[in-house]
Amino acid sequence: MSQLRASGTVRPIVRWSEPVLHTPARPVTDFGPDLQALLADMFATNTAAEGAGLAAAQVGVGLAVFVYDCTDENGKRRAGVICNPELELPQGDERRLVELTEGCLSYPGGYAPLARPSHATCRGRDHHGEPVTVTAAGILGRCLQHETDHINGMVFGDRLSARGRRQMRTLHEEAVSRYPDDWPVSPAAPRD
């Protein structure tokens, strides 16, 4: 994992208008060198963009894989890869929604409050194709849900009310001029 996190090249992040973000991703079936190179680039891109996680679709690749690098409910930094994710959310008495402000690297500057389940379990395969299960609350729990949405061709704006989408769009429009088309290859301009 440390090799993946240290060897990639930053790629441009695609924006919400791109079809790849609205199309369910293809399963990962080959865990060879091409996937390893993609994952290294995804980690580098996520780091450059100061993100919590990044799905392959966000760099224009329609594969069912995402990387994460953020803190869990205990403030512990966790990083990893989940290929072919399957999300399990609490049901019944265990289900508790938490509303937090959420954003997306593919819609820079746009944020809105969104209620999601307090924790999640995500099962899939790691970067070598071995089974992996990640359970978390906090930022990581939300990240697991957000990135799995990307794998399913959904952006978080699809989960917002009309009012929430308007609020997010206004913030995005105010900020988008700071983000070059190839961001984060080229850095964002500083805030005024």
Q: Tokens for 121, please give them.
A: 């379990």
Would you call 147 a catalytic residue per the annotation? yes
Q: Which of 18, 94, 147, 174 is catalytic?
A: 147
Distance (Å, whole) CA 20 – CA 153: 8
How many other C-beta atoms are found inside a 10 Å radius of the C-beta of residue 137?
17
Distance (Å, whole) CA 49 – CA 184: 6
DSSP annotation of 148 reads H
Distance (Å, whole) CA 181 – CA 185: 9
Q: Tokens for 144, please give them.
A: 């697991």
Residue 123: helix, strand or coil by DSSP?
A: strand
Distance (Å, whole) CA 5 – CA 187: 20
Q: Please, what is the end-to-end C-alpha distance for the chain in angstroms?
A: 38
Residues involved in catalysis: 147
